[in-house]
Amino acid sequence: MMMRFAALTVLFCLAGTAAAADQPTIEVRKTATCGCCVAWVAHLRRAGFTVRAQNVSYERLARFKQQHGIRDRHASCHTARVGGYTIEGHVPASEILRLLEQRPEAVGLSVPGMPVGSPGMEAGTEREAYRVLLVKKDGTDRTYKSYPAAR
């Protein structure tokens, strides 16, 4: 019985490793002093992504956002690129996975600002209501997923 359990455990671990290996690498640009950016990167890694984070100046970060289709109204504290999409702010890993699966015609996803309770902005069980926006190539957006407030 223990041998069967051990064999199953190994199989599940290998399956998890293979799934993580299938995820594309997420390239993150952030400033060196932003702790919530570090927490968001940890959230992505726990979800199985390989993440390459690079600290840049505020000026370089602003240029990177602009070059990859992020306008001021969609901005947050960090910007990432994955699978040809731009990910702005505290977007949950589950929404990035859905984006990569569905492959809509878009710039990418954004969680503007820094809502409490979003990945990387956790504060116990409290969460502000926030929306993940699908940013379209013409600069408009639509709600991709809403997260309700929680206390």
Q: Would you tell me how many other CB atoms lie within 10 Å of the CB of residue 123? A: 9
DSSP assignment string, 89-126: ES--HHHHHHHHHH--SSSEEEE-S--TTSTT--BTTB
pLDDT at residue 5, rounded to an integer: 31
What is the per-residue pLDDT across 62-75, written as a single tens digit (0 to 9) for each? 999 999 999 999 99
State the helix-helix crossing angle for 93-102 and 35-46, rounded to 10 degrees: 60
What is the chain's pLDDT, residue by residue, as a tens digit (151 residues)? 433 333 333 333 333 433 445 678 999 999 999 999 999 999 999 999 999 999 999 999 999 999 999 999 999 999 999 999 999 999 999 999 999 999 999 999 999 999 999 999 998 899 999 999 999 999 999 999 999 999 8
Residue 117's contacts (CB-CB under 8 Å, 6 or more residues apart) are 123, 126, 127, 128, 130, 147, 149, 150
The share of the chain scoring above pLDDT 90, in percent, equals: 81
* DSSP of 70-97: --GGG--S-EEEETTEEEEES--HHHHH
Residue 133 neighbours by CB distance under 10 Å: 23
Say which amino acid occupies 143.
T
Which pLDDT score, from 0 to 100, does residue 112 have? 97
Domain limits, the chain: 2-147
pLDDT in tens, 108-128: 999 999 999 999 999 889 999
pLDDT at res. 22? 67
